[in-house]
């Protein structure tokens, strides 16, 4: 039977790990990447861009996946899983439970981080007025339909597809 002192010690360890990991999770959550045509970084702001006019040929839904895992999800999951599982059993069983909890927590944390790193996007095919065809992938925050007039904005950074002003 597990004594009250053992349970309190495990609860303190869990609280300490959660307190240590929380800032990392918060900081990782603040590092948002964006593939939106409406979002500019500070380095892209106030820079001249080239504008090319065109017409949407097609657009199709895609998924934009963050290509770099920060490891925070795996680390946080492993720490929390290991501490939580360390309250199970005693002796060798407790050690095995802690290792198993850390492994399962790490896998779960990594899976959560990968799911959070996915964004709905569009692959937009545009025929430029000069006859060339371009395909641009970006977040699906603006919908496009075939025949719609658009502008392709490019220069320093990504190429963006945005609806053309009414006069075009």
pLDDT in tens, 115-135: 667 889 999 999 999 999 999
Which has the higher per-residue pLDDT, 130 or 112? 130
Task: Please say whether the beta carbons of 75 and 2 come within 8 A.
Answer: no
User: What's the pLDDT tens digit per position in 137-164?
Assistant: 999 999 999 999 999 999 877 899 999 9
Residues in the chain: 168
Angle between helices 72-85 and 4-30 (to 10 degrees): 170
Give 165's DSSP letter.
P
Amino acid 48: pLDDT: 80
Residue 158 dihedral angles phi and psi, to the nearest 5° = -75, 160
CA 62 vs. chain centroid, Å, equals 15
Residue indicated by tokens 């593939």: 35
Instruction: Check: pTM over 0.85? Answer yes or no.
Output: no
C-beta separation of 151 from 85 below 8 A: no
Q: What is the full DSSP assignment across 96-156?
A: HHHHHHHHHHHHHHHHHHHHHTEEEEEEEEEEETTS-EEEEEEETTS---TT-EEEEEESS
Q: Would you say 93 and 70 are in contact if contact means Cβ atoms under 8 Å apart?
A: no
């Amino acid at each position: 039977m597990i004594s009250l002192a053992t349970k309190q010690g495990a609860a303190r360890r869990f609280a300490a790990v959660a307190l240590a990991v929380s800032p990392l999770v918060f900081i990782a959550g603040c590092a948002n990447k964006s593939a939106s045509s409406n979002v500019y970084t500070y380095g892209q702001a106030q820079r001249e861009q080239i504008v090319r006019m065109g017409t949407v040929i097609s657009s199709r839904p895609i998924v934009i996946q963050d290509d770099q895992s920060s490891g925070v999800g795996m680390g946080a999951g492993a720490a929390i899983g290991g501490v939580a599982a360390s309250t199970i059993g005693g002796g060798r069983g407790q050690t095995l439970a802690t290792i198993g909890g850390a492994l399962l927590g790490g896998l779960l944390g990594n899976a959560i981080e990968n799911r959070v790193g996915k964004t709905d996007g569009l692959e937009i095919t545009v025929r430029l007025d000069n006859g060339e065809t371009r395909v641009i992938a970006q977040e699906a925050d603006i919908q496009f339909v075939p025949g719609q007039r658009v502008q392709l904005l490019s220069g320093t950074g990504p190429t963006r597809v945005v609806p053309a002003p009414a006069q075009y």
